[in-house]
Structure 1
Amino acid sequence: MRTVGVEEELLIVESGSGRALSMATQVLRQAEEVAEGGTDEPGGGLEKELQQQQVETGTRPHTDLDALGEDIRACRRMAIDAARATGAQVAAVGTSPLPVEPLLVRNERFALMTERFGITTEENLTCGCHVHVGVSSREEAVGVLDRIRPWLPVLAALSANSPFWQGRDTAYASFRTQAQARWPSAGPTELFGSAEAYDDLVARMVASNTVLDAGMVYFDARVSQSYPTVELRVADVCMDVEDAVLVAGLARALVTTAAAAWAAGEGAPAVPVALLRLASWQASRAGVGGDLLDPLTAQPRPAVDVVADLLELLGPALRETGDEGAVRRRVETVLRQGTGADRQRATWERTGSLADVVAEAVRVTAGMES
């Protein structure tokens, strides 16, 4: 059974006001005694991210989704406890609902990114959920990338959790997706066909002196540089742990299904990148509250129908791991109750307070009822 692990970026916020706080250094210092680093596997501690208002957690790889969920909770507790020790809190939101001036973490690489990309680096305070799924080889990994690309916008829609930006409603369910699109290396990819072709493209991107290094290749899904995994990068960080587990379960089933198709010699869907960009934009705009684009035809269809097609495609893989029942139930919950973006907007409409939006996110992040 394939392993799956999750990395989550979390926003550090002030109790009461809900504003983002530049306290990553202090939070990480508090967490040092329990953080584990230097392993050959993703996860196990807290790490810095681009801005001082955020930290990143990471789980160990798991084969059981229940165990993965417990690990995500443990990682969040580590971040919550470390933040509390500094007088702060953490919230699993894709962007800060309240106005914020991001403050870059001080290191040489981030300074070079600011010099190269200017305001794109300076303003980029977004929190995502990155899912690592185990693969047996780089050839299999690239075969997977070629076959999952049309379905990634559906994962983005299900995880949408960033409707606010600089204190205003953006009219997007996932504005984080729009912010990430400012990076020159971000977004969907053309078909690669082989690991050699993938590696050649990455090398040419680095040689262009546009991106600093291979770590800045921000494809929607990519071959991990550090682990024997495919890394799916389209999801917002999910407010509720159960939604993070859902995204991870769907991601693993998607990789498993694609790997089987690659091994059987089935061709990859030849959907043009231009249409994949439209699908990504539509998922970012609507979440699951409207139409999505059909992954293969790019025609608009109700989100519930597109999600149903995804579940049908992934059925054999989900049954193989024993996850089908739990995944279907959680999908039904998201479709009925809405995503994190819907939850944020509902709080805003009820209270008229973005501080209340953040406060509820803090509670849900910690597993407490709102």
Structure 2
Amino acid sequence: MGVEEEFLLVDAKTRQLSWQGPALLRAAPDTEGDLQTELTRCQVESATPVCTTASEVLEKLRELRGTLAAQARSRGLRLIASGTAPLHESAPPQLTNNPRYRRISEHAGALAMSSPCCGCHIHVGVPDRETGVQVINHLRPWLPVLLALSVNSPCSDGVDTGYQSWRSLSWSQWPSAGPPPRFTSHAAYEEAVRELLASGAALDRGMIYWDVRLSDEWPTVELRVCDVAPTAEEATLLAVLARALVTRAVHSTAPVPPLSHHALRAALWRAARDGVSGQGYDVHTGRLAPMSALVERLVEWTVPVLEQYGDLGYVESTLQRLARIGSGAARQRAALADGGLKGLVDMLSEQTEPIA
């Protein structure tokens, strides 16, 4: 498995977005893993190398966050892990000077110029692409639960949006984003990709923005439904749960759950609104249920794999901690109530940086 994290850069004094992302990355030292630019210059991205244990994921995430945070501090900036930019910005985000990004911006218009979104993308290895498509089908019902566990973007453009993951709502405006349909085969998956490319909804395969997709670069399924995690520990939780779900799906002989596209979209909307502390739409029963109960069901479903990899203790202890301190969105709202928007940004920068 591997984890990609997208971050925002803010000025340490004004807390406004900074456009120094590309310059910061050019000056960054070599590190195990990748540091990359994103569509807008206020964003930076990290990607771990291939990992096999929870401790290895956590170690690499801390190293990459530490490198980026140190580079940011040296320039009078701070690194923050938030799915959306909390403060109001007086001007649209500046685009990274990259031919592909310019092409996307010219084609997508205001979609590309809207407030930047930061997610956590998790890659899990699969034997082949046909198996990967069946894994996607089995993962679809769990996407709302993973989103609820990751909610970390209640504020955007200076206001509380009323959602716990505004990123997921904002990002879903892209025509190639959102939950994937159910596929009968890899050929059907490729036909859906072809239709998005032919229509111009996606300019290239990298713009297939489904919440879970096949990677074209690696032999993996890539989960893209989550907000960027507030801490490396929470990102590791998402990664080991994702691996457990994929592993169960690879070896499953059960039929693919008959989940309609509109029911899944409704469940994702509810997860974005309520997060882990409210009600979720139970796609198995068609009724609302406490999202905490749906999280428990996910853990119960994956216990055999979590025990196999030695991850169960980590999952249980991290979930217990989150039950005490609240989700990323809950902590953002608490910081907003205590210190306003600038206090919120300060809290985000403090929890983003790894514990020394």
Query: Normalization by structure 1: what TM-score?
Result: 0.93
Cα distance in 2, alignment partners of residues 368 and 166 from structure 1: 29
Which residue of the partner structure matches residue 242 of structure 1?
233
Post-superposition CA distance 1:33-66 (Å, at most 9, x none): 4156xxxxxxx12100010001000101111101
SS at match of 2:177: coil
Judge which range, 186-195 or 44-53, deviates more. 186-195
Post-superposition CA distance 1:157-194 (Å, at most 9, x none): 11100010100000110000011110001111221121
Would you say how many aligned residue pairs link Structure 1 and Structure 2? 354
Report how far residue 197 of structure 1 moved.
1.3
Contact residue 16 and residue 355 of structure 1 kept, 8 A: no
Which residue of the partner structure matches residue 39 of structure 1?
none
Which residue of the partner structure matches residue 322 of structure 1?
310
Unaligned runs of 5+ in 2: none
| Counterpart mapping for 1:285-296 below 5 A | 285-296=273-284
Cα distance in 2, alignment partners of residues 368 and 346 from structure 1: 21
Contact residue 263 and residue 283 of structure 2 kept, 8 A: no
| One-letter code aligned to 2:11 | E
| Counterpart mapping for 1:19-38 below 5 A | 19-31=16-28, 33-35=29-31
| Counterpart mapping for 1:161-310 below 5 A | 161-261=152-252, 264=253, 266-310=254-298
Contact residue 152 and residue 164 of structure 2 kept, 8 A: yes
Q: Please report the RMSD computed on the Cα atoms of aligned residues, expressed in angstroms.
A: 1.3
SS at match of 2:178: coil
Report how far residue 124 of structure 1 moved.
4.2
Report how far residue 96 of structure 1 moved.
0.9
Which residue of the partner structure matches residue 347 of structure 2?
360
Judge which range, 149-158 or 16-25, deviates more. 16-25
Contact residue 8 and residue 56 of structure 1 kept, 8 A: yes
Cα distance in 2, alignment partners of residues 111 and 297 from structure 1: 45
Report how far residue 72 of structure 1 moved.
0.3
Cα distance in 2, alignment partners of residues 346 and 74 from structure 1: 28
Contact residue 126 and residue 132 of structure 2 kept, 8 A: yes
Report how far residue 20 of structure 1 moved.
1.1
Which residue of the partner structure matches residue 323 of structure 2?
335
Contact residue 84 and residue 153 of structure 2 kept, 8 A: yes
Contact residue 30 and residue 85 of structure 1 kept, 8 A: no
Given the alignment of the two structures, is residue 99 of structure 1 paired with residue 96 of structure 2, yes or no?
Answer: no
| One-letter code aligned to 1:87 | G
Contact residue 65 and residue 354 of structure 2 kept, 8 A: no
Post-superposition CA distance 1:208-231 (Å, at most 9, x none): 222101111110100001001100
Unaligned runs of 5+ in 1: 37-43
Contact residue 84 and residue 115 of structure 2 kept, 8 A: no
Report how far residue 337 of structure 1 moved.
2.1
Cα distance in 1, alignment partners of residues 38 and 147 from structure 2: 21
User: What is the percent sequence identity of the aligned residues?
Assistant: 40
The partner residue of 1:16 within 13, 16, 29 is 13
Cα distance in 2, alignment partners of residues 49 and 62 from structure 1: 23
Cα distance in 1, alignment partners of residues 100 and 38 from structure 2: 12
Judge which range, 282-291 or 77-86, deviates more. 77-86
Query: Normalization by structure 2: what TM-score?
Result: 0.96
| One-letter code aligned to 1:121 | A
Report how far residue 336 of structure 1 moved.
3.1
Contact residue 151 and residue 164 of structure 2 kept, 8 A: yes
